[in-house]
A and B are shown apart, each in its own frame.
Chain A
Amino acid sequence: MTPLVSVTDLSVAFPTGDRTVRAVDGLSFALAPGGALGIVGESGSGKSTAAYALLGLHRGTGAQVGGSVQVAGHDVQAADEAALRRIRGGVAAMVFQDPLSSLDPYQAVGDQIAEVYRVHRPGVSRRAARERAAEVLDRVGIPDAARRARSRPHEFSGGMRQRALIAMALACEPRLLVADEPTTALDVTVQAQILGLLGELRAETGMGLILVTHDLGVAAGSVDDLLVMKDGRAVEHGPVRDVLETPREPYTRALLAAVPRVNVRRSVEPVPATDDSVLLEATGLRREFGRGRHTVTAVDDVTLTVRAGETVGVVGESGSGKTTLGRMLVRLLEPTGGELRYRGRDIRGLKERELRPFRSELQMVFQDPVSSLNPRRSIGESIADPLRAAGTLDDAAIVARVRELLERVGLDPDAYHRYPHEFSGGQRQRVGIARALAPEPKLIVCDEPVSALDVTTQAQVVRLLGELQRDLGLALVFIAHDLAVVRQVSDRLVVMQGGRIVEQGPADAVYERPEHAYTRGLLAAVPRLGTEEGTEDGTALQGASA
């Protein structure tokens, strides 16, 4: 049987200025008809670049492509323009990561699908093409498809848009579907639906699937074979069970060890709760944005307490109000209603000036390691900022303290005078943590502190936060969309939906015996590697230090 896809010694290089970056280097793999291959790797591993080569998308970009790519008997490398156009969409179709920007904002979704259909079925009338569009939209689960086909992309939700893109891919009955991070921009429950849909379609049409993703969990449940990439090369390639359960390569093992598991308990004992150690207390907290008819309530009637030295995890999907809540807790935002007490003192309505004494006690770590540091100031100066603002230490003492902090977060103390762009994402996040630690706070709100990081870096940063908390007796509020990450750090868990708390309690209790239907749905949707059932001894966290 001839394989559907056969890639031999593929290399892709981008000339940039005076040097050439080899994004893919000597990659070979094959896919049987109807098979499914997952290509996984961290950022910069070349996985998307390799996928783009399957449709000849590097042609004309200045990239140097070498080796051979065969898709369903077509030689993609040798095909002329017209032949390549027939392959694109007709033989192999691609689904992109960001469903909003991947569709023409000015055109009805149905028309866009119909247009693509007519390109590959030249004789078809407009009417027939439109009917085909409605048919495939219906197939991917868009309700009332014939009518919704006339809507434009911005009238669809994120999940619906991704369905529409998949419908476009289906329209011409391709033999291969290439999906590039198709669920990365989506919430976990929607992700589960989309992955389910891809599986169904594959079974129904017999088309092959190549799924490119950074998330091993996503790949685990959706593909037959797994290809692990690092620095443009294949590290390990084999049946998915073999790779996940008996990885041969050290890199694969490290990668797997770093993946947070939602069904594994935290290794540290929860902090014993005593009422007199309450730091922050929110009662009926509420925040509205906008005025009049356009008022949106982002957070509604939220009541929670944070005690000294404990970690409260806050999880929720996009739009659940978790970020707004986090910003209110450190009083970057003023609550519209409710009560917010810090050590018994009401800080809800305080003016900026009155808040100053509290600023050093309540700090924050941000999501984006790029935008959270001023690119024009050295990292030492950024960390020193709160110390200088306080004005209690002299210059030498400040520098000494910053050096100490840099060392504490695992960076070179001599990096004081270096600028943010000289650091990797994980290192920048460490700088952000050092800055938050500088004024010796009692509580740090971490807003998605690891979601922009690769999985191995993620594990390192999470471990650092855990250590700091134990050593310094910090209270943490850990906000994240990733339930597995939150489980690794939380003593207590708060689940938010639509601005409200739907469930809160001791972390293990909520994870193991969720009471609210929403929490149960959320937990069920988390992709699992499916290899460590029963190993509830916290190896995940320890493994990260390998």
Chain B
Amino acid sequence: MTDTLATPQPEAAAPASGARQVWRRLRTRRSALAAAAVLGLLVLLALGAPLLAALEGQDPVTYHDTLVDSARGGVPLGSFGGAGAEHWLGVEPGTGRDLFARLLYGARISLFVALGATVVQVLIGVAVGLAAALGNRLLDSVLSHLTDVMVAMPSLVFTIALFAVVPSDFPRPVLLIVVIGLLNWGSTARLVRAQTLGLKKLDYVTAARLTGGSPWRVARRELLPALAAPVITYAAILLPSNVVIEAGLSFLGVGIKPPTPSWGQMLSSATTWFRADPMYVLMPSLLLFVTVLAFTVLGDGVRAALDPREASRLRVGRAGRRKSAATSPEGGAA
């Protein structure tokens, strides 16, 4: 057989597969790397909150009446909201609680709730999406309609409403995770269903059926690994939106209950103080903004790295350097 090419020849464009290739492409995106670094730092700060607060010599709950000016309604004494060697970022107006410690403990809540809710959303979304794509016609129709409704419904309104009837003795962060997770899985389910339907049509999945293996074997070997990439990408998009939902609920006073510190709740009380103590508005806003932005940028980077279309597509027509046509997350909702 002289005509066969006995040794494999690499082709020009390798498809997006394998964690190594994704990592290689992600590494070339400086913005994504910076975002990852910021998030890493944030996670460290949150994990080390008790340690760092101890280092400062403060805790998030002790009142310091002597540090606020009760004559002016409780504005912190000193410039920059009372910042100094004792209280690194100053104190909370009114109560005099240490701002640095409260912000760190707030980060714990924010990240914990966002992560937990994302896990719940992904679990429900993957289960519903897979069941719809692999089940019979009736199941698919019911689940798809349910998914459509879940996507379109005003989930924040419903989440707020639910807090009128949830048991009040339950730990709030866990409750938030469950409620946010239960009401916001629609888009994940839709994505998983669409991806699975696409995969099912691929010949290699059909070929796997011919091996005589059980359906579960086929799903485990051929479907699930291929779903991992889009689901991870999507989780990266869900995370920042969950951070915002938690902050929003706490801002409205239906999320985290005092005295547990949370960014949203701090912002809510800051609305009455922004004239007298701008520092108190600035810090939680900045942290929240940086967190969400970092998650969003990282999510964008991961998506671009996973997108096979990222491998440059040359087109006939006009326009200069074509890099990638990054599709927005909303694209799926259309």
Direct contact of A and B (CB under 8 A): yes
Say yes or no: is A390 at the interface (Cβ < 8 Å to chain B): yes
Cα-based distance from A368 to B206 in the complex (angstroms): 12
- When C-beta atoms are compared, the residue in chain B nearest to A365 turns out to be B207
Residues of A within 8 A of B8 (CB): 412, 415, 418, 422-423, 427
- When C-beta atoms are compared, the residue in chain A nearest to B223 turns out to be A374
- When C-beta atoms are compared, the residue in chain A nearest to B14 turns out to be A421
A373 touches B204 (CB 8 A): yes
Given contacts A14-B314, A422-B11, whether A360 and B18 have CB atoms under 8 Å apart is: no
Residues of A within 8 A of B226 (CB): 374, 376
Say yes or no: is B152 at the interface (Cβ < 8 Å to chain A): no
Say yes or no: is A363 at the interface (Cβ < 8 Å to chain B): yes
B225 touches A376 (CB 8 A): yes
**Min CB distance, B136 to chain A, in Å?**
13
Say yes or no: is A156 at the interface (Cβ < 8 Å to chain B): no
Q: Which of B2, B14, B321 is close to A62, meaning CB atoms less than 8 Å apart?
A: B321
B204 touches A372 (CB 8 A): yes
Cα-based distance from A385 to B213 in the complex (angstroms): 8
Residues of B within 8 A of A430 (CB): 4
**Min CB distance, A111 to chain B, in Å?**
22
Q: Mark B195-224, 1 if CB is under 8 A from A, else 0.
A: 000000011101111111101010001100
Say yes or no: is A1 at the interface (Cβ < 8 Å to chain B): no
Residues of B within 8 A of A16 (CB): 12, 312, 314
Of residues A367, A386, A415, which shows the largest number of chain B Cβ atoms within 10 Å of its Cβ?
A386
Q: Which of A373, A421, A424 is close to B5, meaning CB atoms less than 8 Å apart?
A: A424
B317 touches A61 (CB 8 A): yes
Q: Mark A322-335, 1 if CB is under 8 A from B, else 0.
A: 00000000101000
Cα-based distance from A360 to B210 in the complex (angstroms): 7
A62 touches B314 (CB 8 A): yes
- When C-beta atoms are compared, the residue in chain A nearest to B21 turns out to be A421
Cα-based distance from A96 to B73 in the complex (angstroms): 76
Say yes or no: is A410 at the interface (Cβ < 8 Å to chain B): yes
A375 touches B7 (CB 8 A): no
Q: Which of A51-59, A510-518, A533-541 contacts B (4 or more CB under 8 A)?
A: A51-59
Q: Mark A20-59, 1 if CB is under 8 A from B, else 0.
A: 0100000000000000000000000000000010000111
**Min CB distance, B27 to chain A, in Å?**
14
Residues of A within 8 A of B222 (CB): 374
A460 touches B211 (CB 8 A): no
Cα-based distance from A419 to B5 in the complex (angstroms): 16
Given contacts A59-B318, A386-B210, whether A424 and B9 have CB atoms under 8 Å apart is: yes
Of residues B4, B6, B212, B322, which shows the largest number of chain A Cβ atoms within 10 Å of its Cβ?
B212
A412 touches B6 (CB 8 A): yes
Of residues B10, B11, B17, B207, which shows the largest number of chain A Cβ atoms within 10 Å of its Cβ?
B207
Q: Mark A391-431, 1 if CB is under 8 A from B, else 0.
A: 00000000000000000001110010011011110110010
Say yes or no: is B142 at the interface (Cβ < 8 Å to chain A): no
B314 touches A359 (CB 8 A): no
B211 touches A386 (CB 8 A): yes
- When C-beta atoms are compared, the residue in chain B nearest to A55 turns out to be B316
B204 touches A411 (CB 8 A): no
Say yes or no: is B320 at the interface (Cβ < 8 Å to chain A): yes
A374 touches B204 (CB 8 A): yes
How many residue pairs at the A-B interface have CB separations less than 8 Å?
126
Say yes or no: is B15 at the interface (Cβ < 8 Å to chain A): yes
A411 touches B4 (CB 8 A): yes
Say yes or no: is A377 at the interface (Cβ < 8 Å to chain B): yes
**Min CB distance, B265 to chain A, in Å?**
45
- When C-beta atoms are compared, the residue in chain B nearest to A359 turns out to be B212
A363 touches B210 (CB 8 A): yes
Residues of A within 8 A of B320 (CB): 60, 62
- When C-beta atoms are compared, the residue in chain B nearest to A430 turns out to be B4
Q: Which of A60, A382, A411 is close to B317, meaning CB atoms less than 8 Å apart?
A: A60
Which residues of chain A (312-340) have a CB below 8 Å from chain B?
330, 332
Q: Which of B2, B9, B312 is close to A423, meaning CB atoms less than 8 Å apart?
A: B9
- When C-beta atoms are compared, the residue in chain A nearest to B212 turns out to be A359
Q: Which of B15, B217, B316, B322 is close to A421, meaning CB atoms less than 8 Å apart?
A: B15
- When C-beta atoms are compared, the residue in chain A nearest to B321 turns out to be A62
A57 touches B316 (CB 8 A): yes
Cα-based distance from A80 to B317 in the complex (angstroms): 15
Say yes or no: is A542 at the interface (Cβ < 8 Å to chain B): no
Residues of B within 8 A of A57 (CB): 316-317
Cα-based distance from A148 to B322 in the complex (angstroms): 38
Q: Which of B5, B6, B212, B318 is close to A389, meaning CB atoms less than 8 Å apart?
A: B212
Given contacts A372-B204, A418-B8, A422-B8, whether A356 and B212 have CB atoms under 8 Å apart is: yes
Residues of B within 8 A of A412 (CB): 6-8
Which residues of chain A (192-215) have a CB below 8 Å from chain B?
none
Say yes or no: is B157 at the interface (Cβ < 8 Å to chain A): no
Residues of B within 8 A of A372 (CB): 202-204, 207
Residues of A within 8 A of B321 (CB): 62
Cα-based distance from A545 to B213 in the complex (angstroms): 38
Say yes or no: is B164 at the interface (Cβ < 8 Å to chain A): no
Residues of A within 8 A of B15 (CB): 375, 421
Q: Which of B2, B203, B317 is close to A367, meaning CB atoms less than 8 Å apart?
A: B203
Of residues A21, A63, A360, A385, which shows the largest number of chain B Cβ atoms within 10 Å of its Cβ?
A385
A61 touches B210 (CB 8 A): no
**Min CB distance, A445 to chain B, in Å?**
10
Residues of A within 8 A of B275 (CB): none
Residues of A within 8 A of B1 (CB): 410
Say yes or no: is B330 at the interface (Cβ < 8 Å to chain A): no
Q: Which of B17, B209, B217 is close to A332, meaning CB atoms less than 8 Å apart?
A: B209
Residues of A within 8 A of B318 (CB): 59-61
B316 touches A382 (CB 8 A): no
Residues of B within 8 A of A424 (CB): 5, 9, 11
Say yes or no: is B72 at the interface (Cβ < 8 Å to chain A): no
Q: Which of A60, A332, A388, A426 is close to B206, meaning CB atoms less than 8 Å apart?
A: A332
**Min CB distance, A448 to chain B, in Å?**
11
Residues of A within 8 A of B9 (CB): 422-424, 427
Say yes or no: is B286 at the interface (Cβ < 8 Å to chain A): no
B211 touches A359 (CB 8 A): yes
Residues of B within 8 A of A427 (CB): 4-5, 8-9
Residues of B within 8 A of A385 (CB): 208, 211, 213, 221
Say yes or no: is B319 at the interface (Cβ < 8 Å to chain A): yes
Q: Would you list 9 pairs from A and B whose C-beta atoms are within 8 A, ordered by A residue?
A: A16-B314, A61-B316, A61-B318, A330-B210, A362-B210, A382-B204, A419-B18, A422-B14, A424-B11
Please name the 8 residue pairs, one residue from A and one from B, whose CB atoms are nearest each other, closest first. Answer: A359-B212, A410-B4, A372-B203, A389-B213, A60-B318, A366-B203, A386-B211, A422-B8
List residues of B whose CB falls within 8 A of some A CB. Answer: 1-12, 14-15, 17-18, 202-204, 206-213, 215, 217, 221-222, 225-226, 312, 314-322
